[in-house]
Amino acid sequence: MKQFLHDRLPLDGMMAHLRKPLPKHINLLFSLGSLALFLLLLQAATGAFLAMSYSPSPDHAHNAVTYISEEMPFGSFVRGLHHWGASALVIIVFLHILRVVLYGSYKAPRELTWVVGVLLFLVTLGFGFTGYLLPWDEKAYWATVVGVEIAGTAPVLGEVVAKVLRGGAEVGAVTLSRFYALHTIWLPWLAFGLVGAHLFLVRYYGSSGLPKNTPEEMNTGKPFFPDQVFEDVVGMFILFVVLACAALFAEVPLEKVADPTNANYDPRPEWYFLFLFQLLKYFQGPFEIIGTFIIPTVGMLLLLFLPFLDRSERKVLWKRPIALTVTTVCVVAIVGLTILGATAPKLDSQEEVPPTEEVQQVTSPDTQTPDSEDEEDVFEFNLTEEEIDAAKEVGEEAQ
Amino acid sequence: MSNEGRRSFLQIASACIGGIIGLAAGIPLIGFAISPAWKKEESQWVDLGLVDRLKNSRFKKVNYTFTAKDGWVKATKKRSVYVTDVGNGEWDVFSRTCSHLGCLVRWNESQESFLCPCHGAVFDKNGAVVAGPPPEPLQKLDVKVEAGVLYVKET
């Protein structure tokens, strides 16, 4: 068999290519790319199996996810791997990007490798955004409502984009179907095309190594195969053990089925979008678009075109004060906003009284009645009277 | 025709044929995908309940359902509004959808404000923004009274 393949495939050439030496100075952070690829494949594998028992319709999606989690053998484990794997993928890709920035690995001639990598980062976030609608629970519904509305604030084409994403005027059956198609067909095709291009470019230009490598040291390190591959595989094993433990012992959240009238629910996105959620609080009135569109778009464009903006050849970090400052500010801002968003007080402990009730029909089969007239629709809010009065004064002055 | 000229023609012809196939397939596919953007939204009047039962209401929360098409589904949709009887047969019906990013606002009687749980928006009792990020006031829905029943216009 080996001879059969050997006679028909250029195995010697492939192995020689894989055995090419890496730069002399390299460290464990150079395994982050391999770990990201591993997680992407793990997501593809678990997602493919989850899709076999899932139905993308508002009537069935939540039940299907409940069925997977509670009744299918290993269903909870597979869903757990997929759920925690998504978070791990975002973290690993973020760290991978950070490593590339700090070591100046995006610089010439690796500009295209960087651009394709940033596009992969966006695709990863796209997977996250389209994926968490699928369970069709409260979090799924409201996070998607807010997320699509954010897209809708973009100038000129915003409302068109929002309608195309939703497949109509509001989040519903068509939205779920669209997001499912994006999550399981469009984005995977895009991701694997980009991964192919990224890997080709990484192998074509070789590893950038640590900034301290001299040109002579770029091809004098250990071979990629089997030395580096072994380290990568060990990293994958450790990561898989962590994910498996999370899947076994940490409960994967599944809230109540989505209810568009449940005002007692405090919508919050997944943790990796919390910084954006928190950012939106600081831009008010006509400045709303700064938080919803301008900062995210400019930030992404700057990230995408970083190699063309920073054209110096210096790679050592302390000789790149601007890069160091900007990176530090961005990381502190993202982490800080995420923590603020995660710890912001919620209102759901202060529910409306009485809680939302199902409507009763009295005048005709289509006629509704108000909630109980004997009770006041009152709930407590966590702002003080003084804060509300101060806010009103500011509003009146603005008018 | 020289070989070079012939090959140049073949290159251009291949590109043209590929372009035609791309356009012929691409335009309908893109149109198919983005068609919801230009689909006309239908509106309908939905009854909220008997006027007698809503009389003297002050920011009364009313949940209601109505039937509307959602793609291929004839879906029962749920909505929630705040209804106020302003007298002389006039009614204020506020949508609970925050004009910022679509979360549901809550009426707070003691503070006479609508409060949004997402980004801290505060609207006064007329729906005007007094704090937080919304660029527009809370939407006041069209209403009518017919045969003792209060109707709200749904889109």
pLDDT tens for A243-302 read 999 999 999 999 999 998 887 888 999 999 999 999 999 998 889 999 999 999 999 999
pLDDT of residue A348: 52
Domain range for A53: 24-368
Looking at residue A378, the DSSP 8-state letter turns out to be B
pLDDT of residue B41: 80
> Is A377 part of any domain?
no
**Cβ pair A391:B131 closer than 8 A:** yes
Name the amino acid, one letter, at A285.
Answer: G
Q: Which residue has the higher pLDDT, A185 or A371?
A: A185
Name A72's Cβ contacts closer than 8 Å, sequence gap at least 6.
A53
pLDDT of residue A141: 96
Q: Say what the ipTM of the complex is.
A: 0.90
Question: In chain B, what residues touch A265 (CB-CB under 8 Å)?
Answer: 104, 117
**DSSP output for B116-145:** -TTT--EE-TTS-EEESS-SSPPPBPPEEE
pLDDT level of residue B155 (50, 70, 90 thresholds): confident
By CA distance, what is A288's nearest residue in B? B133
Nearest Cβ partner for A371 among B63, B120, B149: B63
Range among A370-374, B55-59, B137-141 with highest mean pLDDT value: B137-141
**Cβ pair B133:A352 closer than 8 A:** no
> Is A297 part of any domain?
yes
Which of A89-116 are b and which e, b meaning 16 or more Cβ less than 10 Å from the residue's Cβ? bbebbbebbebbbbbbbbbeebbebbbb
**Cβ pair A168:B39 closer than 8 A:** yes
> Is A275 part of any domain?
yes
pLDDT at A398 over 80: no
pLDDT tens for A234-259 read 999 999 999 999 999 999 999 999 99
pLDDT of residue A1: 86
pLDDT at A363 over 60: no
pLDDT tens for B24-72 read 999 999 999 999 998 888 889 999 988 988 888 899 989 888 998 888 8
pLDDT level of residue A192 (50, 70, 90 thresholds): very high
Nearest Cβ partner for A164 among B33, B75, B128: B33
Nearest Cβ partner for B80 among A261, A378, A379: A261
For chain A, the average pLDDT equals 88
> Is A77 part of any domain?
yes
pLDDT tens for A309-348 read 999 988 988 899 999 999 999 999 999 999 999 998 876 5
> Is A389 part of any domain?
no
Question: In chain B, what residues touch A355 (CB-CB under 8 Å)?
Answer: none
**Cβ pair B34:A367 closer than 8 A:** no
Report the pLDDT averaged over residues A208-215. 91
**Cβ pair B133:A383 closer than 8 A:** no
A258 phi/psi in degrees, rounded to 5: -55, 135
pLDDT of residue A385: 55
Question: In chain A, what residues touch B72 (CB-CB under 8 Å)?
Answer: 173
CA of A266 to nearest chain B CA: how many angstroms apart? 6
> Is A40 part of any domain?
yes
**Cβ pair A369:B131 closer than 8 A:** no
Question: In chain A, what residues touch B73 (CB-CB under 8 Å)?
Answer: 57-58, 172-173
**Cβ pair A288:B100 closer than 8 A:** yes
pLDDT at B114 over 80: yes
Overall domain count for chain A: 1
Give which of A144, A150, A60, A172 is closest to B41, Cα–Cα.
A172
Name A166's Cβ contacts closer than 8 Å, sequence gap at least 6.
A148, A172, A174, A175, A178, B36
- Cα separation, A375 vs A346, in Å, equals 24
By CA distance, what is B133's nearest residue in A? A284
pLDDT level of residue A379 (50, 70, 90 thresholds): very low
> Is A81 part of any domain?
yes
CA of A101 to nearest chain B CA: how many angstroms apart? 32
Report the CATH number that the domain containing residue A249 is assigned in CATH. Answer: 1.20.810.10
pLDDT tens for A43-93 read 999 999 999 999 999 999 999 999 999 999 999 999 999 999 999 999 999
- Cα separation, A102 vs A315, in Å, equals 8
Question: In chain A, what residues touch B107 (CB-CB under 8 Å)?
Answer: 377-378
Nearest Cβ partner for A356 among B34, B46, B63: B63
DSSP-assigned beta bridge partners for residue B49: B150
Residue among B67, B101, B105, B154 with most chain A CBs within 10 A, to mutate: B101
> Is A228 part of any domain?
yes
Lowest mean pLDDT across A13-22, A347-356, A373-382: A373-382
**Cβ pair B106:A381 closer than 8 A:** yes
**Cβ pair B115:A347 closer than 8 A:** yes
